[in-house]
Amino acid sequence: MNPIEVGERLGRWSSGRGPLHVLLSARLRQLIDEGELPPGEPLPPDRALASALAVGRSTVVAAYELLRQDERIVRRQGSGTQVAGATRARRQTTGAPVFLHLLEPQDGVILLACAAPDRPPPELADAYARILPALAAISGDIGYHPTGHPVLRRAIADRYTQRGIHTDPDHILVTNGAQQALSLLARAFLTPGDRVLVEAPTYHGALEAFREQAAVLQALPIGLSGLKAAARQHRSALAYVISTFHNPTGSVLSPLTRRTLVEICVAAGIPLIDDEVLSDLGFPGEQVPPPLAAFGNSVMSVGSLSKTVWAGLRIGWVRAPQFAIARLARLLAVHDLGGNIPAQLAAADLLPRLQPLAKRWAVEREARHDHLRAELARHLPGWDVPPVRGGQTLWVRVPRGDGTSFAQAALRHQVAVLPGNGLDASGHSAEYLRLHFLASPRTTRGSMAAERPPRRQPSTSSTRSLAKTSEPRSARVAEAREHSPETAVLRPGQLGEGEPEVAVRVGPELQCPEAGAG
Ligand SMILES: Cc1ncc(COP(=O)(O)O)c(C=O)c1O
């Protein structure tokens, strides 16, 4: 396994207390014991793993030594390091587990990697209160609805019809969030080795769903530009685009680009997925073009209430031609026989009343976006932070170093951010990070006033000892947290030598109480 893959599997390995080599060996031991690193699996050389994790080589050497003493790994001169035990064929849980960073339980780490509202709005509780009498009155319904409850399918269909795309409930499949929709689509349309056209960068959860089916990903620029040539060159089984408030860049495709995309896909016979999960997140006054389905009924649209209402509701959907819905429903029924009906009834109640909630959030999101950009400009003027007109993330270019080492360094200060290359199937975007702007300006501003940046200490050596790495780290985090109990701030000078320059400021709103995919 290459060092980057091991790094991805390690997830938030360095966020606990104690020396780094102990944390690293403990996490590797856990991965070995859980079978994520199976017997016989070769592990990266010391230096390569150290570089991927932005730590000194001695940290990796000491961690490997602990594992060797534990008989979890074997190290032989000339044949490298591998997990102890005989090799046996084993199906991996996933080949690209970026989600490990996001779905692990809370461990005090501030999750800047996860972008979604951090609590359910009061409107959701109101919707549940309104549906209770209907729920109590249900009879003659055993509760299994693999395609979704008819009331919610109707409500979703009506919403599309109001947006100008005539839709019947038969064209709708309700899912447990958009992620389930994407993995069902991947299972229904892909066989191992099939080619999928994706944007670079894009939503990492979609990449994982396609990789799970052993698809070959072909990365094209945002908006799938170059699609025509790519379609001519190879047969593609699927194309995936985020047309509105793209994750992570926030871009919106023009009506002309939408029309062209659909026409090319129809002509080439490529099923096209339009991920609309962020399309209702425009800032006030922002007009968005029609969904791709308005330009061709064969488009398969994926939607969700995770970003407009709350991800914990787990309501998503696919709008697609009837034959595709029937195929997806068969697959879904194999896995869970259908979703949670009370949640679906609440969602159906809420859907026609979403406007005031959406408006309120749009104002708030724009203010938070402006505030974060202003703070980044003030404290990190070298960072390139283009503004967006909706969505929830900024695609930030760091002037020095790369996003992966930045993310590893930030993690050692209890802050999880998403490095750009995990979102880019072409392997580029290494100099980018994705930050979300959902923190409240009040918390950010309040804590800002209490801070004075410490000075950067010049470094004397490029290799850090274990003591140097772990000791000052906890002291620096403690110092950062002391200024404001609700805020962790990393600045130049609070970081260890060799760590990239970083200033991350967060408040409690940013911590997703539950796992979030973002
Ligand atoms: C573009 C995009 N699609 C799909 C999803 C998955 O959303 P859900 O929570 O509905 O599964 C996300 C989550 O962040 C997303 O950003």
CATH number of the domain that 146 lies in? 3.40.640.10
317 lines ligand 1 (CB under 6 A): no
Please indicate whether residue 288, judged by its CB atom, sits closer than 6 Å to ligand 1: no
327 and 449 assigned to the same domain: no
Q: Are residues 348 and 363 in the same domain?
A: no
Please check whether residue 244 is in contact with residue 279, taking contact to mean a CB–CB distance below 8 angstroms: yes
Per-residue pLDDT band for 12 (boundaries 50, 70, 90) equals confident
Q: What is the pLDDT of residue 48?
A: 92
Nearest-angstrom CA–CA distance, 464 and 497: 8
Rounded distance from Cα 452 to ligand 1 centre (Å) = 37
Same domain, 324 and 304: yes
Inside any domain, residue 516:
no
- Residue 391 in contact with ligand 1 by CB distance below 6 A: no
**Is 117 near ligand 1, meaning CB less than 6 Å away?**
no
pLDDT reported for residue 414: 76
Pair (163, 296) in one structural domain = yes
Q: Is the distance from the beta carbon of residue 279 to the nearest atom of ligand 1 less than 6 Å? A: no
Q: For residue 107, what is the enclosing H or E element?
A: none
Least confident piece of the model among 102-106, 121-125, 143-147, 264-268: 102-106
Q: Is 518 in the pocket of ligand 1 (CB under 6 A)?
A: yes
Domain check: are 372 and 474 in the same one?
A: yes
Does the beta carbon of 99 lie inside 6 Å of ligand 1? Answer: no
CA torsion 112-409-204-176 (nearest 10°) is -40
Report whether residue 278 contacts ligand 1, using a CB cutoff of 6 Å.
yes
Same domain for 185 and 37: no
The pLDDT value recorded for residue 368 is 92
State the closest ligand 1 atom to the C-alpha of 181, by its place in the atom list counted from 1: 11
**Residue among 333, 62, 371, 314 at smallest CA distance from 178:** 314
- Residue from 156, 176, 179 to probe ligand 1 pocket by mutation (most atoms less than 8 Å from CB): 179
Ligand 1 centre distance from Cα of residue 180 (Å): 9
Residue 45 sits in a domain of what CATH number? Answer: 1.10.10.10
* Ligand 1 contact, 175 CB (< 6 A): no
Both 393 and 489 in one domain: the answer is yes
Q: How confident is the model over 214-227, as pLDDT tens digits?
A: 999 999 999 999 99
pLDDT at 448: 31
Residues 345, 251 share a domain: yes
- Binding site membership of 273 for ligand 1 (Cβ less than 6 Å): no
Distance 135 CA to ligand 1 centre (A): 28
| 390 within domain boundaries | yes
Number of domains in the chain: 3
Predicted structure pTM score? 0.81
Answer yes or no: is 101 within a domain: no
Tell me how far apart the alpha carbons of residues 438 and 391 are, in angstroms, rounded to a whole number.
10
Q: Which residue range is the domain that position 309 belongs to?
A: 122-355
Residue 191 lies in a domain: yes
How far does residue 204's CA lie from ligand 1's centre (Å)? 9
Residue of 405, 489, 500 lying closest to 459 (CA atoms): 500
Q: Residues 333, 454: one domain?
A: no
211 in Cβ contact with 238 (< 8 Å): no
pLDDT value of position 459 = 30
- Give residue-wise pLDDT tens across range 263-290: 999 999 999 999 999 999 999 999 999 9
CA angle 210, 214, 216 (to 5 degrees): 75
Take residue 119 and report the two structure tokens written for it: 């609590």
For residue 411 and ligand 1, the question of a CB distance below 6 A is answered with no
Residue 478 in any domain: the answer is yes
Q: Based on the domain organization, do 361 and 350 belong to the same domain? A: no
Q: Which of 355, 371, 405 is the last residue of a domain?
A: 355
Q: Is the CB of 112 under 6 A from ligand 1?
A: no
- Give me the chain's average pLDDT, please: 83
Task: Report CA(306)–ligand 1 centroid distance (Å).
Answer: 7
Ligand 1 atom index nearest CA of 278: 1
Instruction: Identify the domain boundary among 355, 372, 406.
Output: 355
Percent of the chain beyond pLDDT 90?
A: 62
Q: For residue 225, give the amino acid letter.
A: S
Ligand 1 and 315: CB distance under 6 A: no
> Rounded CA gap, 116 and 393, in Å?
10
Kindly give the distance from the C-alpha atom of residue 177 to the centroid of ligand 1, in angstroms, as a whole number.
7
Of 502, 510, 459, the residue nearest 477 (C-alpha): 502
Q: 213 and 223 share a domain?
A: yes
Task: Tell me, using a 6 A CB cutoff, whether residue 308 lines ligand 1.
Answer: no
CB of residue 178 inside a 6 A radius of ligand 1: yes
| Residue 105 belongs to a domain | no
Q: Count CB neighbours of 81 within 10 A.
A: 19
- Comparison of pLDDT for 5 and 74, the residue scoring more: 74
Place of tokens 């974060």: 372
The reply to whether 518 falls in a domain is no
- Name the token pair of 69: 């003493």
pLDDT for the residue numbered 505: 40
Distance 453 CA to ligand 1 centre (A): 36
Give the domain-ending residue among 296, 327, 355. 355
Statement to judge: residues 197 and 256 lie in one domain? yes
Question: Which regions of 452-494 does DSSP assign to beta strands (E)?
Answer: 488-490
From ligand 1's centre to the CA of 277, what distance in Å? Answer: 6
Distance of alpha carbon 212 from alpha carbon 400, whole angstroms: 33
Q: What is the mean pLDDT of residues 110-138?
A: 91
Nearest CA to ligand 1 atom 16: 518
Q: Is residue 497 included in any domain, yes or no?
A: yes
- Name the residue with the closest Cα to ligand 1, atom 14: 518
pLDDT digits (tens, 9 = 90+) for 354-366: 999 999 999 999 9
- The alpha carbon of 517 and the centre of ligand 1 are apart by a number of angstroms equal to 7
Task: Using the atom order of ligand 1, give the atom closest to the CA of residue 246.
Answer: 1
